[in-house]
A and B are shown apart, each in its own frame.
Chain A
Amino acid sequence: MSRLRLPETDRRTTLKWLLAGLGATPALAACSPSQTSTGPDLLLGVPNPVSGRPYGADPDLMNPVTPWDLTMTPAQKDLVSALVDLVVPPMDNAPSGSALGLQNFVDEWVSSPYEQTQADRENLFAMFEWLERDVRSAGGASFASAPETQQTGALDQIAWSDRVADGLEPHAAAFDRFRNLVVSAYFASEPGSAWLGYIGNQPSMGDYAGPTAEALEHLQSALNELGLDMPEGL
């Protein structure tokens, strides 16, 4: 049987998409919350160490709480807010990413005491430092306060899979993770969910309504193109 082959990047990309679409992201592994970036030469300051505990195997599901403190420095938060707005600009009357507080989700993520999120923390913090350094070396005061062209000048070196500058692959991978988290948080927000078009979590009485006439019409044309018949009785 023949099999369609995708370019490697595309296949990896779509696989990740799929995992996303199925909610099948692998479980995060637990870890001891000890690692954190330290050092006197950090442009964005020294973040607080990760503290707090995992929420455990029996959290209160009706009243969710996040039992760990946020740890990013004010300068990191400023940078992340600016970066969040590049990933999620205001669109179609929906607020920008920072107006929705998505930077706080990034902080919640990197401050959580799990192995996976701690690995992300190291990679993301290194990427934040690199962006800050890049803008400053171009004469800017800081990434957060730089004009957008200066911000995108830095970001464009790591944000596009086919244009990553040599040696910047780790930061490109970190930005890929960052974008994933921020876009996830955006789509999970009320305005982002509406923009994406998720219509669910709404109870209705009687039989399940099923696809709308418009949705069926769209399907019919897709089936027609492939020479397939609309199934009956389902």
Chain B
Amino acid sequence: MTDHEHDVLVIGSGAGGSMAAYVLTQAGVKVHMLEAGRNYDPVEETPIFSENRDAPLLGTATPDKDFGFYNATIDGGWDIDGEPYSSAEGSEFKWWRTRMLGGRTNHWARNSFRMGEYDFKPKSRDGLGFDWPISYEELAPWYDRTEKLIGVYGVNSGLSNHPDSGTGVLQPPPKARVPELFAAAAAADIGIPCVPARRAVLTRDPGDGRSPCFWATDCGRGCNIGAAFQTTTSLLPWARETGRLSITTDAMVYEITTGEDGQANGARYIDKTTGEHRFIGARAVVLAASAAESARILLNSNAKDTGGLANSSGQIGRNLMDTVGSGITGQIPGLEDRPRYNEDGAMGMHVYIPFWLYEEQAAGQLDFPRGYHLEIYSQFSAPGVGWGAGLDGYGRGALESARRYYGSFIHFAQRGEMIPNENCFAEIDAEQKDKFGIPVLKFHYKHSEHEYGQVAHAQQASIELIERMGGRVVSDVKAPADAIAAGGEIIHEIGTARMGASAADSVTNSYGQTWDVPNLFILDGAIFASKAHKNPTLSILTLAMRGADHLVNEMKRGAL
């Protein structure tokens, strides 16, 4: 120990950083956390129950707030003043950042699907991409612990590559809404599974100060009763209660420093409140600034090799992936003029369609190699801007047709696996710097036929479901290359410092410990070796729990 009270420096307060801080402080380790955004207290700042009519422009999305006025994204979005990034010619990548304590966990969808056995060994299965240096079996107990800790609703459906949780781990899911039952009926008839979704929303009192969901107000605003999981109502306050976590917000990290021995010994950051450059030392560093930001910090860090810190493999910034996204919407006459009831529920999905064609895929019967799931969205939701679209005429007749159609539209959102390819990566832009003087990222991004084939399949499956519901497709059904969401648009970017079995072709081992700098751990989405169709946050939390536990053990045995 030198000039600091803490042992470990954690960079980032989102899913990975907060889980690391929680595990470390529980084990008696003193932690200091740096967060680039401002402090945020959901108890004081969540606009719970606030009405759209009380917000500017009825709360609709603006360039200031991409997901609407009340959304719990503070100082964030795809574009941030003074914090640009660039895209290579012919590439489009949208980089979401949330500059606030707790990061994106304050507003994420809370969808929490486990990765399964196939997801960890994709290359072994179809020869594409990379295997993880860890199996599902090894990670399963950590998933159990994570789900139990944060609270996840769902059931064990016993489906292939959609692992069951341990006994007593999951909380009961809410009942399905009418449109969800309708979709499930059509799916069953076609032979497609439709099962309770898994979301990090409490339906039972966990006995830790958080409350179960009370079935109202959008989770995207944040949840001041702690029902919808976010680190600012759970991991961070719990870690602080130990007395071993201190936090500096408004701390924009740009470099991880190393000593003569090549070990990490701290970080340099800009205090955004004063503009001063500061250094903070540490015995070990956990980097969890989000996949692309973590890569940026490492690439900008001085190191003996010229390619950035912990980058002897050259893999930092490479293997950038995002979830494959597209969507088809239908209008269902059988849902018109239906009896009203409170359909808010847990706000997000109660049921969904998991991927059901693993056997066919393995048998070579499909023309795309990896799976997807369909998220189902349809409900009587709170009125706002757009509710008067598509009408004809005026007066009572127009209003009555609006009332008839209310709650009769259904949207199937494809969320699929992307396979890493050499055209997708982030590098330091040689010319541009942000307002802090930090070199920015330049993104390269290109989907392949694998993703397009998957989109085409998801489109056809969604159309079939809508037709079986007696409905009509109202989306423009575009060619897959036009229908697919731009890179980064689904906000699941991962892979930029992937884990692997050897230092030659990966950045970290299965614990997120970098091969080159043993006391530097990366515990965010950067370390993913593949991008399963499952939403990544649950796996980030789980890998961070396991990685931080390993860090504790290494410190205890004196290795670090």
Q: How many residues of A contact B (CB 8 A)?
A: 101
Which of A40-48, A70-78, A220-228 is found at the contact surface with chain B? A220-228
Q: How many residues of B contact A (CB 8 A)?
A: 113
CB distance from B391 to the nearest CB of A (A): 6
Q: Does B29 contact A (CB under 8 A)?
A: no
* Chain A residues in 8 Å Cβ range of B334: 219, 222-223, 225-226
CB distance from A228 to the nearest CB of B (A): 4
Q: Does B399 contact A (CB under 8 A)?
A: yes
**Are B53 and A21 in touch, CB under 8 angstroms?**
no
Q: Does B185 contact A (CB under 8 A)?
A: yes
For B388, give its contact among A61, A66, A181, A219 (CB under 8 Å).
A181
**Are B56 and A55 in touch, CB under 8 angstroms?**
yes
CB contact under 8 A between A57 and B216, given known A23-B381, A222-B182, A230-B181:
no
**Are A184 and B385 in touch, CB under 8 angstroms?**
yes
**Are B178 and A20 in touch, CB under 8 angstroms?**
no
Q: Does A139 contact B (CB under 8 A)?
A: no
* Chain A residues in 8 Å Cβ range of B329: 15, 18, 22
* Chain A residues in 8 Å Cβ range of B340: 197-199, 215
| CB within 8 Å of A: which B36-95 residues | 38, 44-47, 49-58, 60-66, 68-70, 73-77, 80-81
Q: Does A229 contact B (CB under 8 A)?
A: yes
**0/1 per residue, A180-221, Cβ < 8 Å to B?**
111111111110110111111111110111111011101100
* Chain B residues in 8 Å Cβ range of A130: none
Q: Does A129 contact B (CB under 8 A)?
A: no
CB distance from B380 to the nearest CB of A (A): 6
Beta-carbon nearest neighbor of A85 in chain B: B395
| CB within 8 Å of B: which A62-120 residues | 62, 64-67, 86-89, 91, 105, 108-109, 112, 114-115, 117
Q: Does A13 contact B (CB under 8 A)?
A: yes
**0/1 per residue, B113-133, Cβ < 8 Å to A?**
000000000000000000000
Beta-carbon nearest neighbor of B65 in chain A: A57
Q: Does B275 contact A (CB under 8 A)?
A: no
Q: Does B390 contact A (CB under 8 A)?
A: yes
For B380, give its contact among A4, A18, A105, A199 (CB under 8 Å).
A199
For A228, give its contact among B44, B180, B185, B398 (CB under 8 Å).
B185
**Are A180 and B391 in touch, CB under 8 angstroms?**
yes
**Are A180 and B63 in touch, CB under 8 angstroms?**
no
**Are B377 and A86 in touch, CB under 8 angstroms?**
no
| CB within 8 Å of B: which A20-67 residues | 20-30, 54-59, 61-62, 64-67
CB contact under 8 A between A201 and B61, given known A11-B474, A19-B386, A23-B386:
no
Q: Does B215 contact A (CB under 8 A)?
A: yes
**Are A22 and B409 in touch, CB under 8 angstroms?**
yes
Distance in angstroms between the alpha carbons of A26 and B76 in the assembled complex: 17
**Are B185 and A205 in touch, CB under 8 angstroms?**
no
* Chain A residues in 8 Å Cβ range of B467: 2-4
**Are A114 and B185 in touch, CB under 8 angstroms?**
no
* Chain B residues in 8 Å Cβ range of A16: 386, 389-390
Distance in angstroms between the alpha carbons of A1 and B45 in the assembled complex: 50
Q: Does B531 contact A (CB under 8 A)?
A: no
CB distance from B242 to the nearest CB of A (A): 30
Q: Does A234 contact B (CB under 8 A)?
A: yes
Among A55, A89, A184: residue with most chain B CB under 10 A: A184
Distance in angstroms between the alpha carbons of A224 and B338 in the assembled complex: 15
For A56, give its contact among B64, B335, B351 (CB under 8 Å).
B64
* Chain B residues in 8 Å Cβ range of A23: 68, 381, 384, 386
Q: Does A161 contact B (CB under 8 A)?
A: yes
**0/1 per residue, B402-417, Cβ < 8 Å to A?**
1101110101000000
Q: Does B550 contact A (CB under 8 A)?
A: no
Q: Does B344 contact A (CB under 8 A)?
A: yes
CB contact under 8 A between A219 and B338, given known A198-B380, A211-B177:
yes
Q: Does B345 contact A (CB under 8 A)?
A: yes
Distance in angstroms between the alpha carbons of A230 and B335 in the assembled complex: 14
CB contact under 8 A between A195 and B394, given known A215-B338, A222-B334:
no
CB contact under 8 A between A207 and B172, given known A54-B63, A222-B335:
yes
Distance in angstroms between the alpha carbons of A165 and B382 in the assembled complex: 36
**Are B174 and A198 in touch, CB under 8 angstroms?**
no
**Are B380 and A200 in touch, CB under 8 angstroms?**
yes
CB distance from A84 to the nearest CB of B (A): 10
* Chain A residues in 8 Å Cβ range of B178: 211, 215-216, 218-219
* Chain B residues in 8 Å Cβ range of A17: 331, 389-390, 405, 409, 474
**0/1 per residue, B328-340, Cβ < 8 Å to A?**
0101001100111
* Chain B residues in 8 Å Cβ range of A229: 185, 188-189
CB distance from A119 to the nearest CB of B (A): 14
Q: Does B516 contact A (CB under 8 A)?
A: no
CB contact under 8 A between A57 and B64, given known A180-B388, A197-B403, A212-B341:
yes
Beta-carbon nearest neighbor of B79 in chain A: A30
Residue pairs across A and B with Cβ atoms less than 8 A apart, 22 shown, are A15-B474, A23-B386, A25-B386, A30-B64, A61-B47, A62-B45, A112-B57, A179-B398, A181-B385, A183-B398, A197-B380, A199-B340, A204-B215, A207-B172, A209-B215, A211-B178, A212-B341, A219-B338, A223-B185, A227-B189, A229-B189, A234-B175
